[in-house]
């Protein structure tokens, strides 16, 4: 017995030593078993596909470019309507301008109050009246010119005739802004100046220009501004910063400017908290004068010598130095940051400054070949020239302008009280503006103006020469202003504006607003098969709408127009883009491809689907600078459903508006337990934007239900064709859910490519929800024919995180990757449910010495024991990458070429990022001393186990990866508000 006992002890010790020395015991995991478990829990997906194959009759048709004339016609009609509205408004103002006078009846917007909310404006308004905002830089009340009641009546008429029309307004040269309809403004009563808004600048000076700001950086320009001495900078806390962020535009008042500056720029102030002349004026010129979207800008700084401001030296060491830059927000911020680095000097060398400015203009023409644009030099100084001979100043002007065929206008500005009293310097600056030394053999010289700016607090009035000089009373074409993000939540908005003149002098700008969502809804929601799409550009090649960019309604920040050549590389190479920019119409068949997101594209990147042949058809929209292009795969097909069955017992998602549904509570949501509910996204409706703009009412819900159940035989044109047929197909899937009903999941659903989603238990969804844009849907499309496991995400119907299993369903019995997609089926688990699902198969995963996890093919952690054991209350869950959570495993995968990086571009931030792809190629399992990682067959995921005692220190490889990879930055995706709790396993039950 002793020998037997001793032998047993030896075996046990040997086993323990082997496990300790060799790492993970390979018997812990069996990937085939877990794959079988996944197949069982998602077996309904196969039944659904079989149901589509055998019981549903699909009709296929070949797609064509027949939609192009419809898209062009639709946008042309919208533009004509809005242009007509602004022309009516402008005419009313010009016809009645003689009667404009002091305000005796218009309420200020800051004092306005109303309880009537209008969903077109997403705020409380008064549709019978206007309100006014008056700048503190405007004239005294007796000298102000306000609109008349006749103008207001035209605004009301426009609103009645155009349902999609938003704000209408008139901004004057006096700084008086009148808005229809009246609404409350959160700003101070005198804290708004329309003259610095982009729409005003673009309409007042409509032609884009090449502008060089020549900035004196002599020592005197670094002195504090005595005029503003009472506006000393105070420290600006976090609360103050947030407050000013809400009002980042425009320059509202002198006091506001200083508070704004302190909170939002990197410009330095002196030890007493005062700002230098140098920084103030360059800030004003860049921020408030250079507004035109096509304007190009450069900065020359001078004292003893002159040089070009180089911009962002780390990224583009020669870009700003060699050419002018478009005045997009990003470039303007770079130039403003550069000004803060300027060091002052003793002298004021005018000649060097003028020569450098002309060379910059000349170099820019050589690069873009555009000689027709207005070219302007804005010359700012506070001192007398120190040039040995002032004649050289005028020779430099003459020689430089001769090379540019005398197309350059010079506007000079004398800054401060000293120069205001220096008549000799004023004469020099006046002569510079008039270009008294000239050679007109190459064209007539256009004389500029000289302006003294003695009082900085009244800067806008004294510098109005810029607007008056370039405003043209003969220009009466409406301007489509650069889109901006509406502060009240309308999304991306554009203004159609018209300059208003009286007796040849500009008096202001009249505008009407429309949302880009309204304007572009036909293009945004265009769909004719999986690969067909449409896009629109302007004559500069800037992308207005494209499926690879966010929809206009969801844009939250300053818009950055992406060159279409970055999105349509093949079309650009084939010359199609150049033809579109010229405004021609045409058609061409080329080899092309379309890019699709792999899930959350900022974290997981994209993939491309090649089209052997694609037909590009394009046409310009008359009276605009926009061109639409429709891309259709040659021999591409779309499907429809033959039957048009009614849906008995149809339950719409708005259960709060339905009588006597059988309800229960799941987590904090009211749901329908026994019957699934159906939600229809905006793309299922003929007017998607109107659907998301106006709230659903009981009346509209009743009409949908009656139509679905066949109780109303009248044509229902609110929904797109074939929607009821698709819903009837989904209704047949309910039987699979009943047979699979259990308490181990949160919910089941199936979403179609048409924007329809049926869910059990039924839930109420927000009108802006679109299932086809959710990461779980996109991942399933990126991993067709595979079961797709999505990493944890928050859901509004669940107090915690959910993990989704999903799979695409196709049209076509061969189930090819190229088959059209019918939709995606999905199942949601709570983290606790899914973890229990794992340890039920692998009990050892719940032991302290082991740590089991699941990772997807982008390297994100789907499941980890730390998600449920709450050992770290700050544990990141959503978007947690293997390079962060398990850096040693990541290092091994990278080193052995099982995980590689892909490049992607963040167009909003103009930065390159890296996302990850995990691929074992032919291997089924990767093993090292401390971990094992198995490929889960026919899924996008990998099952892993590691020793918990293993130290997890970062490596050079993973640290480098994290620094350039948005998907791996833990500080971005850390769940800062997540409080780890042991989930109640009964909380997910519907009771």
Distance CA 414, CA 451 (A): 6
Does 159 have pLDDT greater than 90?
yes
Distances (CA, A) of 472 to 466, 563, 722: 12, 30, 53
Q: Which residue has the higher pLDDT, 269 or 564?
A: 564
Distance CA 665, CA 873 (A): 28
Give 961's contacts (C-beta < 8 A, 6+ positions apart).
883, 890, 894, 901, 914, 916, 968
Distances (CA, A) of 135 to 177, 189, 250, 807, 949: 8, 8, 11, 58, 67
Distance CA 887, CA 970 (A): 13
Does 967 have pLDDT greater than 80?
no
φ, ψ (nearest 5 deg) of residue 452: -90, 130
Percent of the residues in the chain that have a pLDDT greater than 70, as a whole number: 74
Distance CA 397, CA 286 (A): 23
The per-residue pLDDT for range 186-216, each reduced to its tens digit, is: 767 777 888 878 788 888 877 778 889 898 8
pLDDT at residue 264, rounded to an integer: 36
**Element (H or E) spanning 803, and its range?**
strand 801-810
pLDDT at residue 567, rounded to an integer: 86
Contact by Cβ (8 Å): 903, 914:
yes
Contact by Cβ (8 Å): 939, 845:
no
Q: What pTM does this model have?
A: 0.76
Does 493 have pLDDT greater than 50?
yes
DSSP secondary-structure letter at 986?
A: T
pLDDT at residue 803, rounded to an integer: 95
Give 239's contacts (C-beta < 8 A, 6+ positions apart).
none
pLDDT at residue 447, rounded to an integer: 93
Q: Provide the mean pLDDT of the chain.
A: 79
pLDDT at residue 666, rounded to an integer: 60
Mean pLDDT of 469-485: 73
Does 240 have pLDDT greater than 80?
no
Beta bridge partners of 307: 301
Give 733's contacts (C-beta < 8 A, 6+ positions apart).
48, 51, 750, 758
Q: Which two tokens stand for residue 84?
A: 């007509």
How far does the chain reach from its first CA to its final CA, in angstroms? Answer: 60
pLDDT at residue 225, rounded to an integer: 46
The sign one gets for the Cα dihedral 130, 136, 141, 144 is negative
**Beta-carbon count within 10 A of 723 CB:** 22
Does 183 have pLDDT greater than 80?
yes
pLDDT at residue 417, rounded to an integer: 80
Nearest residue to 312 (alpha-carbon basis) of 323, 322, 320: 320
Contact by Cβ (8 Å): 217, 204:
no
- Residues of each domain in the chain carrying CATH 3.40.50.410: 207-223+277-461
Tell me the H-state helices in 56-197. Answer: 67-95, 149-161
Contact by Cβ (8 Å): 829, 746:
yes
Q: Minimum mean pLDDT among 124-128, 523-527, 777-781: which range?
A: 523-527
Does 111 have pLDDT greater than 80?
yes
Please identify which residue in the block is written with the tokens 């009409």. 703
Beta bridge partners of 409: 376
The sign one gets for the Cα dihedral 459, 464, 465, 467 is positive
Distance CA 594, CA 606 (A): 10
pLDDT at residue 16, rounded to an integer: 41
Does 806 have pLDDT greater than 90?
yes
pLDDT at residue 966, rounded to an integer: 44
Q: Which residue has the higher pLDDT, 530 or 724?
A: 724
Q: Which residue has the higher pLDDT, 137 or 10?
A: 137
What angle, 0 to 180 degrees and rounded to 10, lies between the N-to-C axes of helices 329-339 and 277-284? 170
pLDDT at residue 859, rounded to an integer: 94
DSSP secondary-structure letter at 990?
A: -
Does 55 have pLDDT greater than 60?
yes
Q: Which two tokens stand for residue 331?
A: 């470039």
Q: Minimum mean pLDDT among 54-63, 234-243, 317-326, 833-842: which range?
A: 234-243
What angle, 0 to 180 degrees and rounded to 10, lies between the N-to-C axes of helices 350-368 and 391-403? 10
pLDDT at residue 459, rounded to an integer: 60
Does 672 have pLDDT greater than 90?
no
Beta bridge partners of 104: none
pLDDT at residue 622, rounded to an integer: 86
Does 429 have pLDDT greater than 90?
yes
- Residues of each domain in the chain carrying CATH 3.30.450.20: 70-203+475-517
Does 275 have pLDDT greater than 50?
no
Q: Which residue has the higher pLDDT, 100 or 330?
A: 100
pLDDT at residue 951, rounded to an integer: 44
DSSP 864-915: ETHHHH-SSTT---TT-BHHHH-HHHHHHHHHTTSEEEEEEEETTTTEEEEE
Say which CATH topology domain 207-223+277-461 has.
Rossmann fold (3.40.50)
Collapsing DSSP to helix, strand or coil, 458 comes out as helix
Q: 872: pLDDT confidence band, cut at 50, 70 and 90?
A: low
Q: Which two tokens stand for residue 244?
A: 């000013």
Distance CA 14, CA 4 (A): 15
User: For 746-776, b where at least 16 C-beta lie within 10 A, e where not — what string?
Assistant: bbbbbbbbbbbbbbbbbbbbebebbbbbbbb
**Element (H or E) spanning 665, and its range?**
strand 663-666
Percent of the residues in the chain that have a pLDDT greater than 90, as a whole number: 33
* Chain centre to alpha carbon of residue 280: 31
pLDDT at residue 577, rounded to an integer: 94
Distance CA 280, CA 458 (A): 13
Contact by Cβ (8 Å): 38, 936:
yes
Please name the CATH architecture into which domain 70-203+475-517 falls: 2-Layer Sandwich (3.30)
Q: Minimum mean pLDDT among 53-67, 132-146, 305-319, 708-722: which range?
A: 305-319
Q: Which two tokens stand for residue 450?
A: 């000289």
Q: Which two tokens stand for residue 718?
A: 């609110």
Interstrand relation of 325-326 and 374-381 (parallel, antiparallel or unpaired): unpaired
Q: 462: pLDDT confidence band, cut at 50, 70 and 90?
A: low
Collapsing DSSP to helix, strand or coil, 555 comes out as coil
Distance CA 414, CA 277 (A): 12
Contact by Cβ (8 Å): 780, 807:
yes
The per-residue pLDDT for range 442-455, each reduced to its tens digit, is: 889 999 999 888 76
Distance CA 935, CA 208 (A): 58
pLDDT at residue 688, rounded to an integer: 87
Give 773's contacts (C-beta < 8 A, 6+ positions apart).
none
pLDDT at residue 812, rounded to an integer: 78
Tell me how far apart the 2 most distant CA atoms of the chain are, in Å.
120
Does 638 have pLDDT greater than 50?
yes
Mean pLDDT of 902-910: 67
Distance CA 516, CA 534 (A): 15
Does 234 have pLDDT greater than 90?
no
Interstrand relation of 325-326 and 306-308 (parallel, antiparallel or unpaired): unpaired
The per-residue pLDDT for range 545-576, each reduced to its tens digit, is: 888 887 776 676 666 778 898 889 889 999 99
Q: 915: pLDDT confidence band, cut at 50, 70 and 90?
A: confident
pLDDT at residue 237, rounded to an integer: 35
Distance CA 434, CA 449 (A): 7
Q: Minimum mean pLDDT among 48-57, 79-88, 401-410, 489-498: which range?
A: 489-498
Does 178 have pLDDT greater than 60?
yes
The per-residue pLDDT for range 728-760, each reduced to its tens digit, is: 999 887 777 755 556 678 889 999 999 999 998
Which strand ranges, in their side-by-side order, compose the sheet holding 925-927? 861-864, 850-856, 941-947, 931-935, 925-927
Helix, strand, coil: what percent of the chain each, to 5? 35, 25, 40
The per-residue pLDDT for range 881-902, each reduced to its tens digit, is: 999 999 999 999 999 999 998 8
């Amino acid at each position: 017995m002793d020998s037997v006992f001793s032998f047993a002890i030896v075996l046990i010790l040997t086993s323990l030593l082997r496990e300790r020395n060799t790492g993970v015991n390979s018997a812990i995991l069996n990937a085939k078993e877990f794959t079988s478990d996944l197949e069982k829990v998602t077996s309904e997906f196969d039944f659904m596909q079989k149901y589509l194959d055998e019981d549903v009759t699909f009709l296929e048709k070949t797609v064509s470019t027949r939609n192009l004339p419809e898209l062009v016609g639709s946008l042309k009609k919208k533009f004509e309507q809005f242009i007509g509205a602004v022309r009516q408004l402008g005419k009313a103002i010009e016809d009645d301008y003689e009667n404009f006078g002091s305000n005796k009846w218009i309420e200020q917007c800051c004092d306005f109050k109303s309880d009537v909310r209008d969903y077109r404006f997403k705020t409380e308004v008064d549709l019978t009246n206007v309100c006014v905002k008056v700048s503190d830089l405007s004239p005294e009340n007796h000298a102000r010119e306000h609109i008349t009641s006749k103008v207001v009546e035209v605004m009301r008429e426009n609103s009645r005739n155009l349902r999609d029309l938003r704000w209408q307004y008139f901004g004057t040269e006096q700084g008086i802004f009148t808005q229809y309809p009246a609404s409350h403004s959160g700003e101070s009563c005198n804290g708004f100046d329309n003259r610095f808004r982009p729409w005003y600048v673009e309409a007042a000076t409509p032609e884009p220009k090449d502008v060089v700001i020549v900035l004196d950086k002599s020592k005197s320009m670094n002195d504090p501004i005595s005029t503003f001495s009472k506006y000393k900078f105070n420290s600006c806390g976090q609360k103050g910063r947030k407050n000013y962020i809400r009002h980042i535009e425009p320059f509202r008042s002198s006091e506001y400017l200083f508070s704004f500056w302190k909170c939002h720029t990197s410009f330095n102030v002196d030890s007493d908290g005062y700002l230098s002349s140098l920084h103030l004026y360059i800030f004003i010129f860049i921020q408030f004068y250079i507004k035109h979207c096509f304007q190009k800008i450069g900065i020359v700084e001078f004292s003893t010598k002159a040089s070009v401001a180089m911009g962002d030296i780390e990224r583009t060491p020669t870009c700003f130095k060699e050419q002018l830059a478009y005045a997009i927000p990003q470039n303007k911020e770079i130039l403003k940051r550069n000004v803060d680095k300027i060091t002052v000097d003793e002298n004021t060398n005018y000649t060097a400054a003028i020569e450098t400015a002309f060379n910059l203009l000349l170099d820019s023409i050589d690069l873009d070949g555009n000689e027709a644009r207005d070219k302007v030099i804005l010359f700012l100084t506070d001192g007398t020239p120190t040039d040995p001979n002032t004649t050289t100043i005028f020779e430099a002007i003459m020689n430089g302008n001769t090379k540019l065929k005398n197309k350059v206008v010079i506007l000079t500005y004398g800054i401060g009280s000293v120069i205001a009293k220096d008549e000799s310097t004023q004469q020099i600056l006046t002569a510079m503006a008039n270009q008294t030394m000239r050679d007109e053999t190459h064209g007539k010289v256009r004389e500029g103006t000289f302006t003294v700016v003695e009082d900085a607090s009244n800067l806008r009035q004294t510098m109005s020469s810029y607007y008056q000089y370039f405003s043209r009373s003969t220009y009466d074409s409406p301007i489509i202003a650069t889109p901006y993000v509406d502060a009240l939540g309308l999304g991306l908005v554009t203004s159609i504006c018209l300059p208003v003149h009286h007796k040849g002098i500009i008096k202001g700008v009249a505008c009407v607003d429309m949302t880009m969502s309204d304007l572009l809804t036909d293009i945004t929601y265009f769909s004719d098969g999986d690969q067909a799409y449409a896009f629109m550009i302007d004559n500069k090649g800037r992308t207005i709408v494209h499926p690879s960019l966010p929809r206009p309604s969801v844009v939250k920040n300053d818009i950055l127009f992406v060159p279409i050549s970055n999105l349509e590389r093949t079309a650009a190479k084939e010359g199609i883009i150049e033809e579109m920019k010229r405004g021609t119409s045409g058609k061409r068949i080329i080899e092309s491809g379309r890019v699709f997101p792999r899930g959350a594209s900022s974290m997981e990147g994209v993939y491309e689907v090649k089209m052997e042949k694609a037909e590009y058809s394009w046409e310009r929209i008359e009276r605009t600078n926009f061109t639409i292009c429709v891309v259709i795969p040659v021999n591409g097909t779309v499907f429809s459903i033959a039957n048009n069955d009614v849906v008995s017992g149809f339950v719409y998602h708005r259960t709060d508006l339905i009588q006597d549904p059988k309800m229960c509570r799941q987590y904090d949501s009211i749901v329908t337990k026994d019957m699934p509910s159906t939600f229809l996204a905006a793309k299922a409706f003929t007017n998607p934007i109107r659907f998301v703009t106006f709230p659903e009412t009981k009346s509209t819900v009743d009409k949908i239900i009656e139509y679905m159940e066949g109780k109303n035989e009248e044509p229902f044109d609110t929904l797109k064709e074939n929607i009821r047929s698709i819903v009837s197909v989904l209704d047949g899937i309910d039987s699979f859910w009943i047979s699979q009903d259990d308490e181990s999941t949160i919910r089941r659903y199936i979403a179609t490519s048409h924007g329809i989603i049926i869910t059990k238990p039924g839930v109420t969804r927000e009108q802006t929800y679109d299932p086809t844009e959710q990461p779980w849907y996109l991942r399933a499309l990126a991993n067709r024919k595979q079961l797709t496991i999505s990493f944890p995400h928050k859901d509004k119907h669940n107090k915690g995180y959910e993990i989704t299993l999903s799979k695409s369903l196709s049209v076509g019995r061969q189930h090819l990757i190229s088959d059209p997609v019918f939709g995606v089926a999905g199942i949601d688990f709570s983290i606790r449910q899914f973890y229990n699902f794992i340890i039920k198969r692998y009990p050892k995963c719940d032991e302290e010495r082991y740590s089991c996890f699941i990772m997807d093919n982008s390297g994100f952690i789907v499941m980890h024991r730390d998600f449920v054991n709450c050992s770290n209350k700050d544990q990141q869950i959503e978007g947690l990458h293997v390079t962060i959570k398990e850096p040693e495993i990541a290092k091994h995968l990278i080193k052995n070429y099982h995980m590689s990086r892909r490049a992607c571009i963040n167009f909003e931030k103009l930065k390159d990022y890296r996302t990850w792809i995990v691929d074992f190629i032919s291997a089924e399992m990767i093993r090292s001393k401390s971990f094992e990682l198995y490929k889960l067959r026919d899924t996008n995921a990998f099952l892993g186990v590691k020793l918990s005692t293993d130290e997890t220190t970062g490596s050079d490889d993973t640290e480098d990866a994290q620094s350039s990879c948005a998907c791996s930055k833990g500080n971005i995706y850390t769940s800062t508000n997540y409080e780890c709790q042991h989930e109640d396993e009964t909380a997910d039950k519907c009771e």
